[in-house]
Each structure stands twice: as structure tokens, then as C-alpha cells.
């Protein structure tokens, strides 16, 4: 591609095969200085004889030295002898026409210099970088990115594709911006890597990456700048009892993906391990529970393939919250030695079975008899989640109130509505109460269920 200028046409000082030197401006046109031609930029020009029997289209870097403009005939693209380098239409090595007289020379634009929305455009890396800068493009946003996911013989392949679903090439690259690997660099200029070839990561059979059989799950896809080499990676950010951070604001390390890659919360990368490098979150793939066998990858139970971008929540982000606030008159009592439900319950239906639920509750327990104990726990449909919280009243007097808070993570593995409740039991044959303190006013306790991105 070449630079442009407006209506430049001039008479050269001489013909022959030498580079063209500006002599005078053709009437009705601009000279190089009038049209702000920039010395040091490459232009395309057409030289032609008065009768048009000799002509040549060439390109070269304009040069202004000592007030004299010179336009080198560096590459001959087309000419009247059909010995230019441009194909199709010419078939030569770029032979210069030997003009019999000084020709007129004009700066021109060819089809390859113009952006076309009907066909692909070829740019160099420098031109693409300049284009993004000219447009003020947000380099941190993913552009021209998609994924293809396939499985064979129990192994999973995640392939990076362009926006049309094709492998990236030198003419259709995927450009990714990475933070500076030096956390203290000032200015902290980013690095742009261009992926120009087919790129994928293969999760071998038996590499569970932290998945469990018959359990829905999500696998995050990351791209790494390994000292100028791009690597594709994966990361499982949650289990039924844990959440793992996945953030781009620092640097990270990984292990090379192998048959023994079985941990959630661990970055795995293709071809090699990575140490203290910047990475980008590119997207995720998630599966439903149906047909999921850990370590035997399939795509029959794929739930979704998502490219990361605005509006896509990170792992640990709350997606929805359901809350029940206890009124001051709320009270539950039991003499049972087995766990029973209180009237503090909340319902939630998840948007994706791969998400987890964080349940929190607060209230008070009361023992009606001295030196007895009450156990309190959170449960989904009668099944306890997390360890129970025990409160024991060992004072001589009865009827003391004990503030109690509970929190647990749960993976319901379903998008059906789930009911979470505070459960309690009495451990010494007396009566236990889950309620508000005596003479309390207003709302004093609650239970809350959050759907969390896993």
C-alpha cells in the first residue's frame, strides 16, 4: 500500500530509465510541495509520454533533498511493454521503460491501496497497528476471534479461529493485546501479538482439568504471551466447594497440558509451561451434567461456547441474588435430635448448570434448657451443604440468645429451581429455637442465595 496526495502531476527533468526528478508542475494540477507530499513516504506514480505510447506505473519512496524532489522507480508494477511485476496482466521482473522524452508523472492510487468491504485487504503488521491507532480502536477488546471445539478418542481440541471460523493467516491475523510483562514498567505500554497460523490446545484423554463425572462445568480459554510466542491455555475456575480467581491485571504461570492435568484452579497451556507471563481471557466452553465423564471429553453435552467480551462476567461474579428477610415474628422450634428445616428458606433457579451458589444466612438460636446445645446448618432440599455450625449453651441459666451466621458454596448441577434453608437440631432433649431475640423489632435475620459465575 502507498500514501496518497491530491492532484499531483509534474514534468520530469529527463526521460530514459533514471529516477524522475521534478521539473515543473503541469497546468491545472498541484506540484509535490503544493499537495503536501511527504518526503520518506512511499507513493505510487504513473509516468506517460505525450502520445501515451510509453507509460509506466511504479512505486518508490519520495525524497526531498536540497529543495529537489526525486521519485525513485524502485518497483515497476505495470508498463507499456507488459514487463511489470504486477500479476495478473504483467509478466516481467519490473523493467523500467526508457522514455524517449521527459514524461509527465502523476501520483496515483491503485485498487490495492483502497479499502474494500467486498473483498479481503492485505496489510503488513505495521499497517494494521497504524490502522488501529488511526481508528482509535480499543486494543484490549477481542476482535476477529472465535473458537471451534471438537472431540475424538476421549481427547478435546479447542482451536482458535477468526471471526469467519477459519484458521488465522498472515492476511487474516488475530491481533491480541497483552499487558506489559513488567508490572512496574512506566509507561506500561502493551504488547500486540498477531496469531497468523492454525493454533489449538489438545486436552488428552484422562486430563480432567478438575471436572467431575456427571457434573456440569465450565472451562475458561486463555491466550498467553510467552515472550513473543502465543500459547493457548485452559483454566477451570470452580468446583463444588471452591472458587479460583481469574484476572488479567497481573502475570501468571502455567503447567503444560498432559494426561495428568487433573486440577481445578491451575492454568494449563499447549506445548510448554509458562512462567510469569501476561495472559488474556478469550472465552469459555461449558458442559451440562448429562453424559459428562471426567477425562473422557465429548461435545455431545456441550452447553455453550462463548467468546469473551463486554457483558461476559468473570469467575466469582454474582449473576443473580435471591433473599428472604425474616420478620420479627418469625420463629421455629424443635426438640428433634435430627436436622429439621426452619422457616428461613429461599428459592433460586440458575441460568447455567455450571454455575455455583453461595448461600449466606444470619439469625439467632436459643436453648430453653441450660447446658444443652443446638446445631445449625445450611441445606439444599434437606441435604446439608458445608459443615454445620454448633452453638452450645453451657451457662447455668437457660434462654440465652446466640447470634449465628452461616455461609457455604454449593453446586446444584441443575437449572431447576432449588430451595435452600437453615436447618437445626437439638442435642440434649430440650427445645431449640431459631428466631429473633425477645422484644426485637423489625427484620433481624435473613437467608441469601447468589448465583456465581464458575
- Residue whose C-alpha is closest to residue 392's, from 445, 332, 439, 432: 432
pLDDT of 132 > 60? The answer is no
User: What is the pLDDT confidence band of residue 79, given thresholds at 50, 70 and 90?
Assistant: very high
pLDDT at 232: 98
pLDDT at 396 over 60: no
- Tell me how far CA of residue 336 lies from CA of 45, 138, 357, 369, 424, in angstroms: 95, 62, 28, 14, 9
Please tell me the predicted confidence (pLDDT) of residue 387: 73
Q: What gap in Å lies between CA 10 and CA 32, rounded to an integer? A: 8
Average pLDDT over residues 68-86: 95
Span 154-160, mean pLDDT?
A: 97
- Using CA atoms, how far residue 255 sits from 200, 252, 258, 366, in Å, is 16, 11, 9, 51
DSSP 351: S
| Alpha carbon distance 201, 310 (integer Å) | 25
The distance of Cα 166 from the centroid of its chain, to the nearest Å, equals: 18
Q: Using the predicted structure, report yes or no on whether residue 443 has a pLDDT greater than 50.
A: no
DSSP 87: T
Which of the four pLDDT bands, split at 50, 70 and 90, describes residue 446? Answer: confident
Amino acid at each position: 500500500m502507498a500514501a496518497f496526495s491530491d492532484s499531483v502531476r509534474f514534468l520530469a527533468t529527463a526521460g530514459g530509465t533514471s529516477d524522475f526528478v521534478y521539473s515543473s508542475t503541469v497546468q491545472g494540477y498541484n506540484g509535490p510541495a503544493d499537495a503536501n507530499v511527504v518526503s520518506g513516504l512511499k507513493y505510487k506514480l504513473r509516468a506517460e509520454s505525450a502520445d501515451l505510447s510509453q507509460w509506466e506505473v511504479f512505486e518508490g519512496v519520495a525524497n526531498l533533498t536540497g529543495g529537489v524532489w526525486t521519485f525513485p522507480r524502485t518497483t515497476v508494477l505495470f508498463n507499456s511493454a507488459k514487463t511489470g511485476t504486477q500479476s495478473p496482466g504483467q509478466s516481467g521482473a519490473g523493467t523500467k521503460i526508457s522514455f524517449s522524452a521527459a514524461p509527465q508523472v502523476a501520483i496515483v492510487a491503485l485498487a490495492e491501496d483502497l479499502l474494500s468491504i467486498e473483498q479481503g485487504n492485505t496489510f503488513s503488521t505495521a499497517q494494521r497497528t497504524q490502522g488501529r491507532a488511526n481508528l482509535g480502536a480499543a486494543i484490549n477488546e477481542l476482535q476477529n476471534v472465535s473458537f471451534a471445539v471438537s472431540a475424538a478418542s476421549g481427547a478435546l481440541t479447542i482451536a482458535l479461529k477468526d471471526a469467519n471460523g477459519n484458521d488465522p493467516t498472515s492476511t487474516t491475523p488475530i491481533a491480541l493485546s497483552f499487558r506489559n510483562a513488567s508490572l512496574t514498567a512506566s509507561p506500561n505500554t502493551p504488547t500486540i501479538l498477531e496469531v497468523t497460523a492454525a493454533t489449538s490446545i489438545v486436552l488428552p484423554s484422562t486430563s480432567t482439568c478438575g471436572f467431575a463425572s456427571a457434573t456440569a462445568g465450565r472451562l475458561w480459554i486463555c491466550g498467553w504471551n510467552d515472550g513473543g510466542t502465543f500459547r493457548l491455555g485452559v483454566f477451570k475456575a470452580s468446583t463444588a466447594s471452591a472458587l479460583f480467581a481469574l484476572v488479567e491485571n497481573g502475570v501468571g504461570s502455567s503447567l503444560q497440558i498432559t494426561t495428568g492435568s487433573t486440577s481445578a484452579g491451575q492454568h494449563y497451556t499447549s506445548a510448554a509451561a509458562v512462567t510469569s507471563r501476561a495472559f488474556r481471557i478469550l472465552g469459555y466452553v461449558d458442559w451440562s451434567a448429562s453424559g459428562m465423564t471426567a477425562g473422557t471429553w465429548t461435545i455431545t453435552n456441550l452447553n455453550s461456547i462463548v467468546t469473551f467480551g463486554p457483558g461476559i462476567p468473570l469467575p466469582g461474579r454474582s449473576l443473580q441474588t435471591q433473599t428472604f428477610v425474616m420478620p420479627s415474628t418469625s420463629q421455629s422450634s424443635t426438640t428433634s435430635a435430627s436436622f429439621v428445616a426452619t422457616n428461613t428458606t429461599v428459592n433460586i433457579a440458575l441460568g447455567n448448570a455450571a454455575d455455583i451458589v453461595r448461600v449466606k444466612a444470619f439469625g439467632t438460636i436459643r436453648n430453653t434448657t441450660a447446658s444443652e446445645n443446638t446445631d445449625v446448618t445450611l441445606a439444599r432440599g434437606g441435604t446439608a451443604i458445608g459443615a454445620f455450625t454448633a452453638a452450645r449453651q453451657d451457662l447455668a441459666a437457660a434462654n440465652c440468645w446466640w447470634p449465628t451466621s452461616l455461609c457455604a458454596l454449593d453446586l446444584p448441577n441443575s437449572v431447576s429451581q432449588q430451595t435452600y434453608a437453615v436447618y437445626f437440631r437439638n442435642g440434649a432433649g430440650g427445645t431449640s429455637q431459631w428466631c429473633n431475640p425477645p422484644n426485637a423489632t423489625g427484620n433481624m435475620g435473613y437467608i441469601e442465595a447468589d448465583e456465581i459465575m464458575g
